[in-house]
Structure 1
């Protein structure tokens, strides 16, 4: 069967997964009476809860006798490592752009990778039926973006369609019939090149592994595109590392091909097919699986380096082991190493003591998703504040700079610019009206200045602002940046909180918990209204007497406490604080010091 391999790339929430839903429906992948889920490609629980794509996933559809392999990719910059790997599997990309918002940071990031590989894109202007849509302006911005990224003349001559993913239609003209996606299907078949069919030339089999999976019955699975030759079940292959070192020799026990949303076993894979292979025990992502006669590894796409690091440690609080069953450092290390093996954008290093591990990645969201997955698996962890990774160039300290694009109501643009360019030492690049009472602000800000800023940004903009960020470049160190201004309220006792005590503490600051919750000495229970830390007693009850007086029996009414999400807690803490993560709770606490260190600090104070 004739083949086409294409990846769908876009900024987060521009409608990739919804469009793939419609492609599956209209290609006849589902039975007429088959029950289908919305955003069928988002199979992960966290993906469904947050409405974002985290893992790149493959599917395939048939259109007029041609099989189209489609790869749905993540839209958030923190998961860009997934995108960089899978672009080597495809021969074309479908670039989705929101007709109202235009090209956004992740669009620029993924598109630059695709253009560098020589892929020819198809531009889909999505959501053209939105009231704020301006498809012609969005198309002009896309063309300018292509030119700025150094696209070739052939890539600049890109075809485009106007579409509505949720409406299930795409047309070559803006005022088209708006019935179905046949125009997009036909454009993919016409514009995307057929994979090089070299199966008949007698070349030996080779394939670059791009994603790693596991099946409880089959075992380890490596997915990739067959570059040369053919493969049959029972063939013997060898695995080569990126440097060409021989890792293992194995026999292929299963070949699985993507058919709709499922994988089906096939007897033979030919060049151009995207398949999963079982039978290996050591080979992993970016390794080459090839015939025994070959000795050279296939070139793999270089992955951008991590920009932040977080320390994962054991939970050593007084409440350790109450919620989770995986608390030992050895078990935590095994889980992190397993993650680093399948996710090439993550690096794991041991600390000298062996009880903590430095995990480096792309951003706070990527770390948050990893920690959330681990807590759901029963792990208990203590997490440090994210730290920016620096590098030296010619004896000069360099730090990562991020491009920040903010869409905000006109009345709040001033405070946003002041916060980004003042204490966070950013540079304002562009400020322009975005229509409908909105302003678009573009700034280049040090990564460490953005840690913990999102919560403050949402408060400043009354929840109406949208902030997108992506790595831009390395720049000379810009000097110290002030962290959190407020101190914290720290419990001085172990026990259960009392409503009367919390009521009296409300004047001291904002509380993070309510009555009848377990606390311990050193646990952070709120934010102080001043810049110093304050030790308080949340267990102090009301003194009872046998005298009655006016006002002694008034009801205690507590203000609703501020509950932080996992990402908010990680971004909020200071350098001397930790986030305690268990399957049921997220707590903040001070780092525990040994008695000698505590005495030394007390004397110096």
Structure 2
């Protein structure tokens, strides 16, 4: 029977246990607490789980926690609401287990390329990686990216081929593809001698070395981590030094910085200082709390030593990439360089006629402060404050992709923010030698049914992509390879899902900056624009369906200049969606006919940002997403259009 939290607090250093939101208590035993508070530096193992999106990283981490006995079968590392809704990992998370007298810190990382910054910044915290690859899909674009980052950091790899229990699994072929990937990335010879597992993370078993080996529990993976991953390399000096790799907010302790202690030790109430990458003082603070994670719980520590990954509370200004030092020291731990952002959007105050009716955080200062805080914790995000312009943009955000930026905006709208967002723009740069404009370019591989091949090639050519190769997979499937500008790929994934009924598989890989490929027309369809303000009527919408798909339904509030649908033709069209049926004293059979409407087209935030045209904005509120013209007045829009044509 589990002891109460109060009893555990009196066992060792009076350490209370706090649970993550929604976690089920699996309290550590006495011997576990002694391991967790051991001062030996040789018992640490720091490892990250890396993979392409949806290859089973979080499922494997959850299974490892259960195998070590420190988590309940209902616990999951994906605790963020958006992570649960989308089924992907967005934020890197650190947890810890004890096994065989050792402390193993496990970092769960995102797999989507837009969150590659989350992977890059944790490489300095770990000494080895578990590379997870789906037994059906094999190595994908993000597999190459994360493995390349791990090899550049000289991290020891363990390879796990997951989902081998699927009927479509091809584990032997995938094993050869993984080895070829290591060779392509010019991995050192010692990295090629990696331990190999064939795994079913969902069912919780592995086969070591080959598919013919005997099934074992995931405890064998934990043993291999201890045997293969070296203890962390720590400084020989006694002064405390720690690199901040993550930060989060705690309901009790406020801001918490997370990182690996590189040398020395830290104790409660110590005075420490934070310096930036240039060695300039950021702030001096008192250590209020030292926390360490055990499964889904947080344990308060009296002290922490070099090699461990811990959370420290007491700072207000320290951010990711800062170095924590003991008083009198300003040494800097170099941070791993982060790949530059490729897409930017401008965010401003909502100026639409319905502004202020659905949100609680409305002004520019609130928006700026929120985004500046996010920029401190997300190293892949750049926040640039702008002067107020005609389009009312107050902040420019630069990120890895449309999903990267959309997740941030979705979190903000759930916090009560109202704002308007511009269409995404690609971050370009000048060639130092020729002065020509360069833009980010990507290698795109799309697996598709042969019947959609012609339409896809035509679509990609419209997006300034260059066809490179075609590989026949079987009698019905082909793999097409293109080089395409990043701006041409914005919104492509959603279109492929619709065009191919969800059968297409798309991979992207950043190639570098190449010469600008010319103007790209983003949306070939016109807009259906409201010319009246009020509430949409079913009678009017039924008649408007002939022009194209609508974005509104009866009862939706609209205003002049709002885009309520997509026109079948290229030109915009203005309509009246609030028109009601005239009442007469003549009764006929036709008067009682039912109104027949198609379901309106709905957008997610990443879809709508990718969809809007250059002369449009997205109005983001906690309750709705609306597309509007930048200039609401029809006469002024026509004047601007004529001046642009001259």
Q: Structure 2-normalised TM-score?
A: 0.89
Query: Which segments of 5 or more consecutive residues in structure 1 lack a partner in the other structure?
Result: none
Render the CA deviation track for 1:37-68: whole Å, top value 9, x for unaligned.
Answer: 3xx11110000111100000011111111111
2:261 pairs with 198, 204, 226, which one?
A: 226
- Give the distance between the partners of 2:327 and 2:556, measured in 1 at CA: 63
Equivalent residue, structure 2, for 1:567: 606
**Aligned pair 1:556/2:591, yes or no?**
no
Report the CA distance between 1:544 and its aligned residue: 3.2
Equivalent residue, structure 1, for 2:363: 328
Equivalent residue, structure 2, for 1:135: 171
Report the CA distance between 1:513 and its aligned residue: 1.2
**Aligned pair 1:57/2:57, yes or no?**
no
- Whether the aligned pair in 1 keeps the contact of 2:561 and 2:632 (CA below 8 Å) is no
Equivalent residue, structure 1, for 2:240: 205
2:78 pairs with 29, 42, 55, which one?
A: 42
Report the CA distance between 1:202 and its aligned residue: 4.8
- Give the distance between the partners of 1:555 and 1:347, measured in 2 at CA: 53
1:256 pairs with 267, 272, 291, which one?
A: 291
**Aligned pair 1:154/2:196, yes or no?**
no
Report the CA distance between 1:594 and its aligned residue: 7.3
1:6 pairs with 42, 47, 50, which one?
A: 47
Report the CA distance between 1:512 and its aligned residue: 1.0
Superposed, 1:447-596 pairs within 5 Å as 447-548=486-587, 551-592=590-631
- Give the distance between the partners of 1:143 and 1:603, measured in 2 at CA: 59
Report the CA distance between 1:425 and its aligned residue: 2.1
Superposed, 1:286-301 pairs within 5 Å as 286-301=321-336
**Aligned pair 1:399/2:439, yes or no?**
yes
- Give the distance between the partners of 2:522 and 2:279, measured in 1 at CA: 46
- Give the distance between the partners of 1:602 and 1:182, measured in 2 at CA: 67
2:320 pairs with 261, 272, 285, which one?
A: 285
Render the CA deviation track for 1:153-212: whole Å, top value 9, x for unaligned.
Answer: 1112222111011010112121233241133122211111111355xx552111100001
Taking a change above 3 Å as real, the CA distance of residues 601 and 195 of structure 1, as seen in their structure-2 partners, is closer
Q: Secondary structure at the match of 1:510?
A: coil
**Aligned pair 1:423/2:469, yes or no?**
no
Q: Compare 403-412 and 109-118 and name the one that shifted more.
A: 403-412
- Give the distance between the partners of 1:127 and 1:603, measured in 2 at CA: 58
- Whether the aligned pair in 2 keeps the contact of 1:398 and 1:475 (CA below 8 Å) is yes
Render the CA deviation track for 1:259-287: whole Å, top value 9, x for unaligned.
Answer: 11222111121111001112222211101
Q: Secondary structure at the match of 1:368?
A: helix
Q: How many residues align?
A: 597
Equivalent residue, structure 1, for 2:220: 183
- Whether the aligned pair in 2 keeps the contact of 1:204 and 1:293 (CA below 8 Å) is no
- Whether the aligned pair in 2 keeps the contact of 1:171 and 1:184 (CA below 8 Å) is no
Taking a change above 3 Å as real, the CA distance of residues 444 and 598 of structure 1, as seen in their structure-2 partners, is closer
Q: Compare 427-436 and 294-303 and name the one that shifted more.
A: 427-436
**Aligned pair 1:242/2:277, yes or no?**
yes
**Aligned pair 1:365/2:403, yes or no?**
yes
**Aligned pair 1:308/2:347, yes or no?**
no
Taking a change above 3 Å as real, the CA distance of residues 264 and 179 of structure 1, as seen in their structure-2 partners, is same
Equivalent residue, structure 2, for 1:71: 107
- Whether the aligned pair in 1 keeps the contact of 2:561 and 2:634 (CA below 8 Å) is no
Q: Compare 238-247 and 45-54 and name the one that shifted more.
A: 238-247
- Give the distance between the partners of 1:79 and 1:456, measured in 2 at CA: 21
- Give the distance between the partners of 1:77 and 1:599, measured in 2 at CA: 40
**Aligned pair 1:92/2:128, yes or no?**
yes
Q: Secondary structure at the match of 1:89?
A: coil
Query: Which segments of 5 or more consecutive residues in structure 2 lack a partner in the other structure?
Result: 1-39
Q: Secondary structure at the match of 2:374?
A: helix
Q: Secondary structure at the match of 1:113?
A: helix
Report the CA distance between 1:548 and its aligned residue: 4.7
Equivalent residue, structure 1, for 2:229: 192
Taking a change above 3 Å as real, the CA distance of residues 191 and 431 of structure 1, as seen in their structure-2 partners, is farther
Equivalent residue, structure 2, for 1:410: 450
Report the CA distance between 1:472 and its aligned residue: 2.2
Taking a change above 3 Å as real, the CA distance of residues 597 and 539 of structure 1, as seen in their structure-2 partners, is closer
Taking a change above 3 Å as real, the CA distance of residues 595 and 491 of structure 1, as seen in their structure-2 partners, is closer
Taking a change above 3 Å as real, the CA distance of residues 293 and 370 of structure 1, as seen in their structure-2 partners, is same
Report the CA distance between 1:598 and its aligned residue: 5.1
Q: Compare 289-298 and 360-369 and name the one that shifted more.
A: 289-298
Taking a change above 3 Å as real, the CA distance of residues 450 and 196 of structure 1, as seen in their structure-2 partners, is closer
